[in-house]
Amino acid sequence: MCGIKKIINSSLLLLLAPLLISCNATRQNVNKHNYFNEDYFYNDSLKIAIDFWGALNFINPTERLRHRLKSEGIKSIDNNKLFLVCESKANKYKMYFFCDSIKSPTDYQRVNQKITSNDTVNKIVLFEKSKGHIKITGIIKSEGSDKEYSLNLAQNIISKIAIDSVDEGKLSLFKVWSNYAVKRKNQLQARKKIMTLPLTNNQNGGLKSQFVITANSFISENHAYTYLIKNLEQERKIRYKDLILKISEHSEIKKNQGVFDEISQLAKNNSVIILNEDHYYPKHRIFAMQLLDVLKLNGFTNISLEAFTENDKFTPNYSNGFYTGEPYFAHFIRKAKEMGFIITGHESTDNNIDRELGQAKNIAKIFDQNSKAKIFVYVGHSHIEKGNNGKKWMAQYFKEQTNIDPITINQVSICADLADELILIPKQSLVGDSIPRSNADFFVINNIKTDLQKVYFDKIFQKFILRNSLFKSFKSEEVLISVFDMSEYLELKELAIPIVNFLQIPESDKIKLNLPSGKYHVVVRTEDNKELSSNNIEVN
């Protein structure tokens, strides 16, 4: 770490030596038990929680960092006791936390805490807190001009350290998800952290499953995702099996290319088509992308998206919203922009009105700007409903606000194991007790295979071998490979969305790629967010 000598100098070494020289044996894999959100930390193996304030950058201590500490001459410190480093770039300070064991404590419930040193010249403060067998030693180094800043920080943070307890409200699924999936953009790490998050509230069970499957949906060639989806769809496939077999050969049922032909006719005679999706199905985004050609041919001008934020970048990027970060959603937006569609988000930010009404009003505003607009609206789940379905949804509000009856297509409700890639079923063809609880005009059975060749169908795919000696250490562990279009990566850097993420267990020092001809930036990371390689490649 740059400037570590300035942060922990020789005077600090003398202060730390008596505190940490008796550290016991090295803790193996302690970092694997670290959980972060923006301002809360918990390690479930050490049973230590710290409630910070403000947005911090949390750093897992790596061997490189520990080695750097030793190389700076701090040899009397057992750096394996370093379990957390965090920094505030805005307020210019860093904090280091070490954990030690106390042999034979006299009182297991008593909490002791104190400031052990205040170096006002170097703006370094040491403090410690202990309970039972656990003792935490902290170091705070401030780079600001206020000589008392480090002391004030230490006095505050020492009271926020909890030993042998955790605040589950602060260590929530949403906040942990935001840190690993949204901020770090490592879905492999996100799914691990969500799966192992030590929450006791039973109500989190179903929500945890949704987060896990969503994390998996961002990653192709993913056996865990295939398994989860199979189990998720099983009940629906059983429910609709007999009905679909009964009607599948009826003349009004359209299949494969017939689906696009039918929707083309609908697009010719209607100004608004609403298609829904399940947020953890990339194949739903592929179908939406495939519809763009027939929509454009029939005069469609606009696309309105749920949870989408516009910015000044032509290329889809992480700032556009969470769902956009899924590679196939980004492909959908890329193609739409290349075809000249005007893309806007319709999410409501007005807390004074119903969210569904706010969304409907935002979509209707498109007609205020262009009365001849034709709009493709892409939403999640039930926002598509325009009839009495127990709740008033966006599509119903839109119909009331505009006097336009939109064509609604539901690709969420029905699943079936059929050879056909796509099947379009009019609502009136669904009769009996097994019909979906949806008022959509049409239902799509989507059996599209999520495959990069669905996007780059006009390009030649080539095999490429990525080599790195670090891969050898992960010959029995899946790693995450993220492939970026080179031009997008150079333009957007950390905001760039991969054209594909996939998992692979390296073969010795090799990772095998199969990509369309082109130039790419490829990043390989582990489940613990260790970057193994970052390379520019050309496939031809």
- Per residue in 73-127, pLDDT (tens digit) is 334 456 778 899 999 988 899 999 999 999 888 888 999 999 999 988 888 899 9
Q: Return the minimum-mean-pLDDT range out of 54-63, 345-354, 530-539.
A: 54-63
Provide CATH code, domain 236-453: 3.40.50
Residue burial 90-124, b: 16+ Cβ < 10 Å; e: rest: eeebbbbbbbbeeeebeeeeeeeeeeebbbeebbb
Query: For the chain, what percentages of helix, strand and coil (3-state, to nearest 5) are there?
Result: 35, 25, 35
Across 186-200, 383-397, 453-467, the highest mean pLDDT is recorded for 453-467
| Location of structure tokens 């790195």 | 468
536 vs 147, higher pLDDT: 536
Task: Using alpha carbons, list the distances in angstroms from residue 24 to 44, 79, 100, 134, 285.
Answer: 19, 11, 7, 12, 53
- Residue 251, token pair as written in the block: 């003349």
Across 112-116, 299-303, 529-533, the highest mean pLDDT is recorded for 299-303
Contact 209, 177 (CB under 8 A): no
Under the banding of pLDDT at 50, 70 and 90, the label for residue 261 is: very high
d(CA 279, CA 382) in angstroms, rounded, equals 12
Q: What is the pLDDT of residue 72?
A: 43
One-letter amino acid for residue 379 of the chain = V
- Domain over 28-163 is classified CATH 2.20.28: no
Q: What is the mean pLDDT of the chain?
A: 89
- Domain over 459-539 is classified CATH 1.10.10: no
- Residue 62, token pair as written in the block: 């790596």
Among 32, 35, 87, 24, residue whose Cα is nearest residue 62: 32
Q: What is the pLDDT of residue 172?
A: 83
Supply the DSSP string of 380-445, one letter for each residue: EGGGG--S-SSS--HHHHHHHHH----EEEE-SS-----S-SEEEEEGGG--STT--S---SEEEE
- Residue 85, token pair as written in the block: 């480093």
Contact 255, 189 (CB under 8 A): no
Return the domain boundaries, the chain: 28-163, 173-219, 236-453, 459-539
End-to-end Cα, the chain, rounded Å: 38
pLDDT in tens, 210-232: 899 999 999 998 999 999 999 99
Among 425, 360, 412, residue whose Cα is nearest residue 382: 412
pTM of the model: 0.88
Q: What is the pLDDT of residue 202?
A: 58
d(CA 203, CA 201) in angstroms, rounded, equals 5
Among 186, 187, 210, 208, residue whose Cα is nearest residue 198: 208
pLDDT reading at 16 higher than 90: no
Under the banding of pLDDT at 50, 70 and 90, the label for residue 25 is: very low
Under the banding of pLDDT at 50, 70 and 90, the label for residue 7 is: very low
